[in-house]
Chains A and B, each alone.
Chain A
Amino acid sequence: MKFIQWATSPWGEKIPTHISWGLIWVAIIAGALFLIVHAIYVGFVARPEATAPMDSKQAAAAARVPARVTRHSFGARAFHWVMAASMFVLLVTAFLPKVGYQFDWVKLHWIAGVVLTISVIYHIIHATFVLDFWSIWPDSQDIGDASKRLKRARGQSAPAPMRAGKYPLENKLFHLIVLLAGLSVIVTGVFMMSRVRTPFFTRDPYLFGDTTWGWMYVLHGLAGIGFVALIMAHIYFAVRPEKLFLTKSMIVGWITKEQFLEHHDPERWNVEGGASKAGPKGREVAT
């Protein structure tokens, strides 16, 4: 199967034009396989995970945890759901026409793209200046704990890992991948808007050379099909029983004290009086 569609420019150059649309099915199959393999592993193979007992400092912090812990502020939740809605529209309008469902998709697609772009700009500002910017980035503690979990999963001897901060490592890695794919589709998408009629730009299809445009379309497409698999995984984890409390928190904004203490380290995610407060590494962040 070809990965990229090529064409010959009017000047005789071989130029990329798009990804091969068959890759949509590759992304869907890859996403589905991941879900199946993960579900089988968790259901039949994985051992119950244990975390290290709390030390006295952590126990003291745990005692101050309120009955309800704010996990996502209203602004963070609004961003998440606006982004989700725009992403859904973007994927539907991008790929349904490619698999045979014909409809007027172009305007819907760029409008959803504008909504996504604005929401991401809001998120960057909000996360940088209001939330704890660093709480979503993997740190050395995460890497150490991941190594311990891996060893224990393989039956090797290793100390129990610590509880996670506000976000577990898987969450942070997912955010990182979404960040890369998201920035790819947004940056290329903004340029691509100069090729269609919108109120924002004067059309200029010659802003870049044919080859640059071609790779831009390829990158946009690759990131797009990447999102197909990423969103499949995201929804899968959102509905898994052990993660449902996190999904609920993205709706109502909070988790209970019991859920907090079961999954989070009060030293790494410092909460007080029902709201997240500045911890050792700064303030809360929501994604």
Chain B
Amino acid sequence: MAVIRDVIPAFELFQPTTTDETLALLARYGQSAWVFAGGLDSMDWFADRVKRPEFVVDLSQVKELTRVRAGADGVEIGAMATLTEVVQHPAIKEKYGLLAEAAEFAASPQIRNQGTIGGNVSQDARCWYYRGGWPCYRAGGNICYADSPRGMNREHAILDAVRCVAVNPSDTAPALIALDAKMVIRGPKGERVVDAEDYFIGPAIDITCMTVLRPGDLLTSIRIPSTWAGSKFYFEKVRDRKVWDFPLVNVASAVKMSGNSIQDIRLAVNAVACRPLRLTAVEVAVKGKPRNAETAEAAGKLAIQGAEPLQYNGYKVPLMRNLVKRAVRGMSGEEAA
């Protein structure tokens, strides 16, 4: 009898219905367990036979993780809420439009219907050497194929690269950082709440992980405080194909104005480093300054300090500079013109 080998490797599937049940499964199987949210990142890995988990814990039946609760103190979004639900939620659209806009820029309508916000912020790097199953640093090896004399690195990092030069591809991540979101994580030691900017980790900390999630941990929800509700928001994403692609660079800002001056600001970019970067130096530099072209120009220049482009991604330096300029000024290139 013929044996069909061209299929996803076998695994044991669990479909818990509660968070507690999920955590028990993750605790039982530890590193062998694979958390499966919308499945868009996971299925790529499985279909390419690069990741071969023994146990897959599918969260699709855990309804409590899909809830979105809005209140005076902010909004709490279940990690399994789809990107479409985030885009369409009235409270998010009204008060935290930055996140709705960022989520709407992610992928395609079909993918947003299936993809979750928890998955979007926890997805793995898209470096093709890594995704192709090559034994690079991120895969536990001892080389970065992208950061080599002949590496194809057009989409890779220009900042904060330490051995691995893959970038974080999330669109919602910089928006959540700009909104000062908190990531609620439950694990073997109970619940902990992590600032969005600290949720993401670079290769200097752990080269095989994109987030602080450890085996047994589960991102259960994302809390957005009301601090920045209704502020002036700006989100822009530059990608190769406008219809559906990962960002080459994206930027998100939340600005509070006092007259013509910037009273307070939170600013983050993604796809320029192995993790989304909050640009605190730029924030400090522009606070109290008028929101005009001059301030934006200075912010753009400051943002790219320390950038180290690779052979093929030098274009990201001016691209990031211009996106930061626009985010600080609050208007796109066309509007500014």
- Kindly state whether residue A102 has any CB partner on chain B within 8 Å: yes
A97 to chain B, nearest CB (A): 7
Within 8 Å by CB of A97, from B134, B139, B206, lies B206
- A-contact bits for B286-317, CB 8 A (1 contact / 0 none): 00000000000000000000001000000000
B163 touches A7 (CB 8 A): no
Q: A104 near B205 (CB under 8 angstroms)?
A: yes
- Count residues of chain B with CB under 8 A from any CB of chain A: 21
In whole angstroms, what is the CA distance A102 to B201 when docked? 10
B144 within 8 A of A: yes
The docked-state distance in angstroms from the alpha carbon of A279 to that of B155 is: 67
Name the residue of chain B whose CB is nearest to the CB of A214.
Answer: B142
- Given known contacts A7-B135, A203-B147, A106 and B204 CB-to-CB distance under 8 angstroms: yes
The closest CB in chain A to the CB of B162 belongs to A106
Asked if B141 contacts A197 (CB within 8 A), the reply is: no
CB within 8 Å of A: which B188-222 residues: 201, 204-206, 214
Question: B45 to chain A: closest CB distance in Å?
Answer: 16
Give the docked Cα–Cα distance between A203 and B143 (Å). 11
Are the CB atoms of A17 and B206 closer together than 8 Å? Answer: no
How close is B155's CB to chain A, nearest CB, in angstroms? 19
Task: Please indicate which of the listed interface residues B135, B145, B163, B214 has the most CB atoms of chain A within 10 Å of its own CB.
Answer: B135
Q: Which of B134, B143, B162 contacts A213 (CB 8 A)?
A: B143
Say whether B205 contacts A103, CB under 8 Å.
Answer: yes
A259 at the interface (CB under 8 A from B): no
Number of interface residues of A (CB under 8 A): 27
User: What residues on A are CB-neighbors of B162 within 8 Å?
Assistant: 104, 106-107, 196-197
**Out of B139, B140, B143, B204, which one reaches A104, CB within 8 Å?**
B204
Interface flag for A147 (CB, 8 Å):
no
Q: How long is the Cα–Cα vector from A107 to B161 in the complex, in angstroms?
A: 12
Q: Which residues of B contact A280 (CB under 8 A)?
A: none
Q: B: which residues have CB within 8 A of A? A: 134-135, 139-145, 147-149, 161-163, 201, 204-206, 214, 308
Per CB-CB distance, the 3 closest pairs between chain A and chain B, nearest first, are: A7-B135, A104-B204, A102-B205
Known: A7-B139, A8-B135, A205-B143. 17 other contacts (CB 8 A): A5-B140, A17-B135, A17-B140, A17-B142, A18-B142, A105-B204, A106-B163, A107-B204, A195-B142, A195-B143, A195-B144, A195-B163, A203-B147, A205-B147, A206-B148, A213-B143, A214-B142
